[in-house]
Structure 1
C-alpha cells in the first residue's frame, strides 16, 4: 500500500486530501493528514470580526475530511526527506512514499523588534489571528479618536489585499459612528503604491484618496517603539500612532526550515507550474507553503489544487506531468458601505478592468466598486464550507481567461 502524507489541514490540504480520496483507490492508498489543531479556521471571516462580524469561524477538521482519510493531531517537528519520514513533537514517526506540504504561512510578530511585547493586543493589534481579531474588536469599540495606523511589515503576506480591506472597512466604521473627523487614518506599506500591480494600485490608490486616507509608501520598518508609539524605518523615518493595526512578517512553518526544505522565510522552493519540490521529487508544496511568485491567497490554493491533483495522479503512475499552473488568482476587495471590487490575474497578466467570470456577461465587475462584488464575497463563506473544501468543482475557469477584460486605455478610446 502506498502512503500519501499531507502536512496541514487548512484550505489547500483539505481540498487536496478530499480530491485525491476520490481519485486514488482505497485498496492501494493510505492518505494521512497531520495538523496541530483540531479545528479548521475560516480565515476570510477574520476581516469582519473587528467590525462586529459573525463568530462561527471554526469547524472540526474531522468533519471536513472524507471517509477513508486518516487525521493525526500533532505538532510537526521535522521531515527527513532522505528517509521519507515525518517526526512529530511527541516523538511519533510517520513514514511516507509521497509528501504534500500544506502548512501555509503565519504572522511572526517576534521577527520585528518591539512589535511583540507588553503592548501586543493593547495598543498594537492584528486581525490575521483568531485571538487578535477579537481583541481588535474591543479596541475599536473603545477607540475615542486619534491616529489609527494600518501597517504592513513586508511582503509576501497571506491575502495581500486584506490590509487595504481593513482600512476601507475602518473608515466606513468610523463614519457610521459619526466620528470620522476625529480619526486620522494612515496606511503604511513597504511597497511603492497601494498594491503590487500598477493598474490595480492606481484604482486602489484612488479609493484611498477619495476617503482621505493618508498613504506612506516605501516604509521598511526597522523597529516599533511601543513606549513612544512610533514606527521607525531603516531610513530613520518615524510614524506615530495612537492605535496600530499591523500585519507582521509572514513565514512558513518552522519545521520546513529546520528540515532544510525551505528558503529564508521557510517557504518550499517548487516548480511554479507543477508545485513539485525542486530538491525532492516525491515532495510537493501547495497553498501558501511554497515560494510561488503569486499571491498567498485562497484562490491560488483552489486553482493550483485543481492542477496539482491532475499532475499528481499522472506522477504516481510514472507518467509525465502535463498540466501547468498559470498563477491564477482572484480576490474580492471589500471597500466599505456594502460594496467591493474584484481583481483577477496570473503570473503574466496584472489585474485589468472588465467582467468576470463570463466575459462580457459578468455578472461581476473587475476593478469597479459594486454591491454585487460585496455579496459575492459574503456568499463565498457558504461556497467555502460546502463546495471548495469537500473538493467539488466550481463553475469558474481554473486558468485565467482574458475574455471580458480590457486595458484602461481601451476603455478611454471606447
Structure 2
C-alpha cells in the first residue's frame, strides 16, 4: 500500500486529497489517502467579506471537514501537526500520534504577520478571519459617515483584488443605508488597482472606483499607524475607520523550508510544486505560489493541488498524465457590476509566466461567485 499524507484541510488539501482518492479508486490502486487538519471547519474565506457587509452569516462560511470521509472517501484526522521530519518521512501531531508516508502534500496555508508593521496589529479591522469579519460588521453597522481607509502594507497578499472589490462594495453598502457622507480610499503599494493582473482588469477597477468615488492612493512604504492616521513614506491619510490587509508568510511549522531569497515563502520547484531535495514532498499553499510567479488566491491553489496530485499518481502508476497548470478565472464584483478575468500560464523552466485579460463585465458575476462558494461548501454538508 502507498501512503499519501495531506496536511491541511483548506482548499489545497481538500482538492489534492479528493483527486487522489477518486483516481486511486477509478484505477483500483492500493493508495491510502489521509488528511490531517487542526480545524474541524473547512472555511470559504471569500465569504468573510459578505459576512462583514451583512449579506451572509457566519455559519454559511464553513462546513465540517470530517464529512469529507463520507463524501470523498479519504480519512480525516482532526489533530495539530507539531513536527515534520522529511528525512525519516514522519509527521508528529499534538495528540502524540506519528504518521509515516510515501508521499506528503503540504497544504498548510500561510500565517498572518500583524506585528510586522508598526500599529498594524493595534488599530483597524479586517475580514480575513470569521472573527475579524464579525467585528468589522459591527463597526460598519455603527458607522454614520466619515473617512474609511482600506490599507495594504505590502504585496502580495491573499486575494489580490480584495481591496478594490471591497471599496466598491462599501459604496453600495452605504448608499443602501442612505449614508452619502463617506470618503473611501485604498492606500496601496501598487502603481494602480490590480495592476498585477493586466491593464484591462486594472482599467475596470479604475473606472468602477471612479463611479463609486473610491480613491486609489499609492504609498512607497509603511511608517506607522496611529489611532486616526496611516503614515507612509510619501503620504499621511486620515481615517475614521480603518480596514487592513494582513501581511502573509510561511507557517511556523514550515519555517525550516523557507526560501533563502525571501523567507516569507517556501522553497519549491516547478512545474509540479515539489520541495527541493525531496521528490516525494509537495508544497501547495499561498507560501509556495510567489516563488513560481503565481497568484495568492484559491483558484491558483486549486490548480496547484491538481498538478501535484497527478504528479504523485504518475509516480505510483507510471504513465498517468501530469496535468498542466490550467488557466485560472478570477471573478470580482461591486457597485452594481462585476468582472470575469482569465489568466493563462506557461512554464519557462524556472517559473510560470502569466497572461491575464478581461473576459466580460456583468452584474450577474456576483451571483456566479456566490453560487460557486456556497455550492462548494454544500458538497461537504450531509
The equivalences for 1:110-129 within 5 A come to 110-117=115-122, 119=123, 124-129=124-129
Query: How many angstroms apart in 2 are the aligned matches of 1:261 and 1:249?
Result: 16
Query: How many angstroms apart in 1 are the aligned matches of 2:277 and 2:320?
Result: 18
The SS at the match of 2:273 is coil
Q: Which residue of 2 is the match for residue 381 of structure 1? A: 373
Q: Which residue of 2 is the match for residue 345 of structure 1? A: 343
Query: How many angstroms apart in 1 are the aligned matches of 2:167 and 2:367?
Result: 19
Q: Which residue of 2 is the match for residue 95 of structure 1? A: 100
CA contact (8 A) 1:109 1:248 kept: yes
Q: Please give the per-residue CA displacement for 1:340-361, whole angstroms capped at 9, x wherever unaligned.
A: 111111344433234xxxxxxx
- Higher relative contact order (Cα pairs below 8 Å, separated by 6+ residues): 2
Q: Structure 1 residue 383: deviation in Å?
A: 3.3
Q: Which residue of 1 is the match for residue 217 of structure 2? A: 216
Q: Structure 1 residue 331: deviation in Å?
A: 1.3
Q: Structure 1 residue 194: deviation in Å?
A: 0.5
Q: Which residue of 2 is the match for residue 358 of structure 1? A: none
Q: Do residues 172 (structure 1) and 172 (structure 2) align?
A: yes
Q: Do residues 201 (structure 1) and 206 (structure 2) align?
A: no
Q: Please give the per-residue CA displacement for 1:208-239, whole angstroms capped at 9, x wherever unaligned.
A: 1222211111342233223xx22222x25322
Of 70, 78, 81, which aligns to 1:73? 78
Q: Which residue of 2 is the match for residue 372 of structure 1? A: 364
CA contact (8 A) 1:287 1:298 kept: no
CA contact (8 A) 1:297 1:329 kept: no
The SS at the match of 1:24 is helix
Query: How many angstroms apart in 2 are the aligned matches of 1:92 and 1:267?
Result: 28
Is the alpha carbon distance of 1:94 and 1:266 closer, same or farther for their aligned partners in structure 2, counting shifts above 3 Å? Answer: farther
Query: How many angstroms apart in 1 are the aligned matches of 2:325 and 2:355?
Result: 16
CA contact (8 A) 2:212 2:335 kept: no
Is the alpha carbon distance of 1:141 and 1:261 closer, same or farther for their aligned partners in structure 2, counting shifts above 3 Å? Answer: same
Of 42, 52, 59, which aligns to 1:50? 52
Q: Which residue of 2 is the match for residue 36 of structure 1? A: 38
Q: Do residues 324 (structure 1) and 329 (structure 2) align?
A: no
Query: How many angstroms apart in 2 are the aligned matches of 1:46 and 1:127?
Result: 6
TM-score by length of 2: 0.87
Q: Which residue of 2 is the match for residue 22 of structure 1? A: 22
Q: Structure 1 residue 318: deviation in Å?
A: 5.2
Q: Structure 1 residue 73: deviation in Å?
A: 1.9
TM-score by length of 1: 0.81
Question: Mind listing any 5+ residue stretches in structure 1 that lack a counterpart?
Answer: 355-364, 391-414
CA contact (8 A) 1:256 1:267 kept: no
Is the alpha carbon distance of 1:27 and 1:194 closer, same or farther for their aligned partners in structure 2, counting shifts above 3 Å? Answer: closer
Q: Which residue of 1 is the match for residue 188 of structure 2? A: 189
Is the alpha carbon distance of 1:116 and 1:29 closer, same or farther for their aligned partners in structure 2, counting shifts above 3 Å? Answer: same
Q: Which residue of 2 is the match for residue 273 of structure 1? A: 271
Cα RMSD of the aligned pairs, angstroms, is 2.4
Q: Which residue of 2 is the match for residue 333 of structure 1? A: 332
Aligned length: 364
Query: How many angstroms apart in 2 are the aligned matches of 1:57 and 1:386?
Result: 10
Query: How many angstroms apart in 1 are the aligned matches of 2:3 and 2:287?
Result: 21
Query: How many angstroms apart in 2 are the aligned matches of 1:245 and 1:254?
Result: 26
Of 83, 89, 100, which aligns to 1:84? 89
Q: Please give the per-residue CA displacement for 1:296-341, whole angstroms capped at 9, x wherever unaligned.
A: 2222122333333322211223569754325x3221111223x211
The SS at the match of 1:208 is helix
The SS at the match of 1:125 is coil
Query: How many angstroms apart in 2 are the aligned matches of 1:59 and 1:386?
Result: 7
Is the alpha carbon distance of 1:106 and 1:330 closer, same or farther for their aligned partners in structure 2, counting shifts above 3 Å? Answer: farther
The equivalences for 1:238-317 within 5 A come to 238-257=236-255, 259-260=256-257, 262=259, 264-291=262-289, 292-317=292-317
CA contact (8 A) 1:8 1:35 kept: yes
Question: Mind listing any 5+ residue stretches in structure 2 that lack a counterpart?
Answer: 346-352
Query: How many angstroms apart in 2 are the aligned matches of 1:147 and 1:175?
Result: 15
Query: How many angstroms apart in 2 are the aligned matches of 1:316 and 1:62?
Result: 27
Q: Please give the per-residue CA displacement for 1:187-213, whole angstroms capped at 9, x wherever unaligned.
A: 111111111133321221122122221
Query: How many angstroms apart in 2 are the aligned matches of 1:24 and 1:353?
Result: 37
Query: How many angstroms apart in 2 are the aligned matches of 1:296 and 1:260?
Result: 18
